[in-house]
């Protein structure tokens, strides 16, 4: 696909090609617009799917005064409906969660199509249970009501004084036992809406002292009623009454599930005016235990499936333990309860008839999960070891959620996993982990386009290669995927295109160099033959260039790189420092070069550049600003322009930005053993050359 971008940040217009089912590497210096390309594609797809306007975020500032014109445009992505992007946002949002390395690691690593098929096959064999619950909603209602009553008893060994039940009836039922001085309020206290009335009454008493009139009825005899009104707040707690009402309501809903005798006694206890007696508390605890047993049994039956069966050698034996025997739950042994439980037990019997098939499916799924986990662990841990990281991962079962989590463990402390990995990993380690985990997530989601936005530039060489191998080589890798890799790091291109095309040919790699000149983005193909050592590049340019001064620039760098500081280097160094009388620099002292040394150096340089060299003539040229400006303007690549600029200003110009860049920051020929020929690829940022151009014009 040919992707065209217009009016996106620093890109006025540009076009890049993305080959399907291939690794497309786009290499460019900082400021080219690589991240803009990534964001433009991302926003285009979001807008396409959601009818939004995210792409407008990339509108260049110079056009923002007019909302209707010069808006960003992206075209050529008609076949792309979803895109996965690896960048810093991905690391922050999805990786290194507090309790696991990767968010949703179960879904990404284990819950694949094969796993889901296995679960469907198991669930098909046990569907009688789920159907029983679906067809009998009253079982679910019973379970919820029993749970509500159980919670009111509290979780302490005995009946906790902090429990709702004890608070409501422990000291007697205040609704049934109304103090004599408050009998006037009996109808209100015993009404179904008593808690609302109590809240209203207690709020109103705060206004008793404002006036002689009653705040409730405005009668004038308020002083006679004050004591009675205030007594309500001392005798009654609206929250306690609310607990009591709720408990009695729940007990009433469960009436048919309790034996008559049990129900009557519970009601009697809940309405007792004398408070909870010891034998009554023992009775309540006995009921609580039986309710708890029934709830546990019902919940275990509801959860019947692979997770509850996988740890047992014989599934029929564990299923038998799920059956419910009400004869041991005397308080709940009613005809209605029996009817519900009989349906569940019958469903379990039907499943037991298929226990052989079920056993086979469970065993297959167990083996599948184990093999999947071991394969992922082996792949990831091999990478971590090979790349030199002192960690390994484990994939552990999360029993609370019937799932699995990936945990990070340090080799020096294998007894425990790392709770918050983000706090322990370096920037490079986080990036490496995140990139590998990103790969697994993308493979699961099967994205149409994968964008790697400067993914590995922060790693050292051995880690880069280990990551690239894992991303692009293995069975579980980005093979046969459409990948756009944006980078300012040349090493991946050297490894993938130059050194190891045989290793990476499975991803059909291609590389292009991105150039952005005044907002016009273009790309140039990089082939294996374009990747050269600087020695090869220098020798080729010395042979092919027409301007002698440019030949000499490359020759001097060739001398430096090969550590040849002999006579030829000494003479060229004098030339570029504009010394009329050449000097010979040594560790002990400096002296003028002899005529013989100058002659030998001249012969050497002449042989190297394959044309006549004369120091005096060249010295006059480098000191002739008009001549140097001519060479500068005629040079076709930024690298040579920069070197001519250095000669023109003898590295002493006032432009600190350029001086720092020229002298300290951007000696590109030292960056890599292999690189691109600066004569063919503009590897010097255009903004630096713009600054040079300004200086040249100002000094004309």
CATH code, 49: 3.40.50
Last residue within a domain, chosen from 473, 497, 530: 530
Q: How many CA atoms lie within 13 A of 58 on its CB side?
A: 28
Cα of 303 vs its chain's centroid, Å: 31
Last residue within a domain, chosen from 213, 235, 257: 235
Mark whether 454 and 539 lie in a shared domain: no
Mark whether 211 and 316 lie in a shared domain: no
Mark whether 526 and 536 lie in a shared domain: no
Mark whether 205 and 256 lie in a shared domain: no
* Residues contacting 493, CB < 8 A, separation 6+: 25, 27, 511, 526, 531
CB 695 within 8 A of CB 649: yes
pLDDT at 668: 46
Task: Give residue for tokens 């902090």.
Answer: 162
Q: Is 471 helix (H, G, I), strand (E, B) or coil?
A: helix
* Residues contacting 43, CB < 8 A, separation 6+: 54, 55, 57, 58, 72, 74
Residue 93 in domain: no
Q: Give the Å distances, CA to CA, from 663 to 29, 642, 656, 667.
A: 18, 11, 10, 8
pLDDT at 519: 93
Mark whether 571 and 620 lie in a shared domain: yes
**Domains held by the chain: number:** 4
Residue 485 in domain: yes
**Taken in order 476, 479, 485, 491, is the CA torsion positive or negative?**
positive
pLDDT at 227: 62
Residue 104 in domain: no
In whole angstroms, give the CA distance from residue 443 to residue 441: 5
Residue 372 in domain: no
Polymer length in residues for the chain: 700
Residue 378 in domain: no
Mark whether 607 and 524 lie in a shared domain: no
Q: How many CA atoms lie within 13 A of 623 on its CB side?
A: 12
CB 22 within 8 A of CB 89: no
Last residue within a domain, chosen from 465, 499, 530: 530
Residue 47 sits in which domain range? 1-82+448-530
Residue 293 in domain: yes
Mark whether 78 and 6 lie in a shared domain: yes
CB 496 within 8 A of CB 483: no
In whole angstroms, give the CA distance from residue 687 to residue 519: 11
Residue 658 in domain: yes
Q: How confident is the chain (700 residues) per 10-residue block, as mean pLDDT?
A: 95 96 94 94 95 94 90 95 90 66 78 91 92 89 88 75 71 62 62 60 64 67 62 59 71 88 86 77 88 92 88 89 94 94 94 93 92 89 82 81 79 69 70 84 90 82 82 86 94 92 92 94 95 91 92 92 92 93 88 94 95 95 92 88 83 61 52 78 84 81
Cβ burial, residue 164 (10 Å; 0-12/13-18/19+): buried
Mark whether 203 and 168 lie in a shared domain: no
CB 498 within 8 A of CB 467: no
DSSP category for residue 593: P
Mark whether 620 and 498 lie in a shared domain: no
Residue 483 in domain: yes
pLDDT at 206: 66
Mark whether 270 and 219 lie in a shared domain: no
Mark whether 551 and 609 lie in a shared domain: yes
Mark whether 519 and 622 lie in a shared domain: no
N-to-C CA span, the chain: 47
3-state percent breakdown (helix, strand, coil) of the chain, nearest 5:
60, 10, 30
CB 268 within 8 A of CB 176: no
In whole angstroms, give the CA distance from residue 377 to residue 384: 10
DSSP category for residue 404: E
DSSP category for residue 594: P
């Amino acid at each position: 696909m040919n992707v065209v971008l217009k009016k996106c940040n620093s890109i006025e217009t540009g076009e890049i090609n993305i080959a399907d089912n291939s690794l497309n590497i786009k290499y460019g210096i900082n400021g080219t617009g690589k991240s803009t390309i990534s964001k433009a594609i991302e926003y285009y797809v979001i807008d396409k799917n959601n009818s939004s306007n995210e792409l407008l975020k990339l509108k260049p500032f110079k056009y923002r005064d007019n909302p209707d014109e010069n808006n960003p445009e992206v075209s050529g992505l008609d076949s792309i409906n979803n895109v996965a992007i690896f960048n810093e946002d991905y690391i922050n949002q999805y990786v290194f969660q507090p309790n696991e390395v990767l968010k949703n690691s179960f879904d990404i690593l284990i819950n694949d199509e094969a796993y889901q098929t296995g679960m469907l096959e198991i669930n098909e064999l046990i569907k009688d249970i789920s159907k029983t619950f679906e067809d009998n909603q009253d079982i679910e209602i019973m379970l919820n009501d029993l749970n509500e009553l159980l919670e009111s008893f509290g979780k302490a060994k005995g009946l906790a004084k902090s429990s709702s039940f004890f608070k409501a009836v422990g000291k007697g039922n205040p609704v049934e036992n109304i103090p004599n001085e408050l009998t006037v309020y009996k109808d209100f206290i015993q009404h179904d809406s008593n808690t609302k009335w109590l809240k209203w009454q207690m709020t109103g008493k705060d206004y008793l002292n404002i006036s002689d009139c009653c705040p409730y009825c405005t009668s004038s005899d308020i002083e006679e009623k004050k004591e009675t009104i205030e007594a309500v707040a001392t005798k009654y707690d609206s929250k306690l009454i609310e607990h009591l009402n709720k408990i009695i309501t729940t007990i009433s809903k469960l009436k048919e599930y309790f034996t008559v005798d049990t129900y009557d006694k519970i009601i009697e206890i809940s309405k007792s005016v004398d408070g909870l007696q010891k034998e009554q508390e023992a009775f309540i605890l006995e009921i609580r235990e039986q309710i708890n047993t029934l709830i546990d049994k019902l919940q275990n039956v509801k959860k019947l499936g692979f997770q509850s069966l996988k740890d047992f050698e014989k599934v029929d034996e564990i299923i038998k333990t799920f059956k419910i025997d009400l004869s041991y739950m005397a308080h709940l042994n009613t005809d209605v309860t029996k009817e519900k439980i009989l349906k569940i037990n019958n469903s379990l019997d039907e499943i037991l008839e298929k226990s052989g098939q079920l056993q086979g499916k469970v065993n297959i799924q167990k083996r599948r999960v184990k093999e999947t986990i071991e394969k992922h662990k082996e792949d990831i841990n091999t990478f971590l070891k090979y790349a030199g990281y002192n960690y390994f991962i484990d994939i552990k079962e999360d029993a609370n959620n019937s799932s699995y989590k990936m945990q990070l463990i340090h080799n020096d402390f294998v007894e425990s996993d790392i709770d918050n990995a983000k706090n322990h990993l370096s920037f490079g380690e986080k990036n490496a982990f995140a990139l590998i985990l990103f790969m697994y997530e993308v493979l699961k989601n099967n994205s149409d386009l994968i964008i790697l936005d400067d993914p590995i530039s922060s790693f050292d060489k051995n880690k880069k290669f280990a990551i690239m191998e894992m991303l692009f080589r293995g069975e579980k890798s980005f093979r046969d995927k459409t990948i756009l890799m944006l980078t300012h790091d040349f090493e991946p291109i050297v490894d993938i295109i130059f050194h190891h095309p045989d290793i990476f040919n499975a991803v059909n790699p291609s590389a292009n160099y991105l150039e952005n000149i005044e907002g016009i983005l273009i790309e140039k193909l990089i082939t294996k033959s374009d990747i050269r050592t600087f020695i090869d590049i220098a020798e080729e340019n010395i042979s092919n260039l027409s301007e002698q001064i440019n030949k000499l620039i490359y020759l001097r760098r060739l001398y430096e790189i090969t550590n040849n500081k002999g006579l030829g280097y000494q003479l060229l160094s004098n030339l570029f420092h504009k010394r009329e009388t050449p000097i010979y620099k040594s560790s002990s002292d400096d002296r003028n070069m002899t005529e013989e040394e100058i002659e030998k150096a001249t012969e050497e340089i002449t042989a190297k550049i394959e044309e006549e060299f004369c120091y005096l003539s060249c010295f006059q040229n480098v000191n002739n600003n008009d001549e140097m400006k001519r060479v500068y303007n005629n040079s076709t690549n930024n690298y040579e322009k920069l070197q001519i600029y250095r000669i023109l200003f003898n590295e002493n110009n006032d432009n600190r930005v350029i001086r720092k860049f020229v002298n300290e920051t951007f000696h590109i020929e030292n960056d890599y053993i292999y690189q691109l020929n600066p004569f063919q690829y503009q590897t010097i940022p255009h903004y630096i050359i713009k600054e040079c151009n300004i200086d040249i014009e100002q000094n004309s």
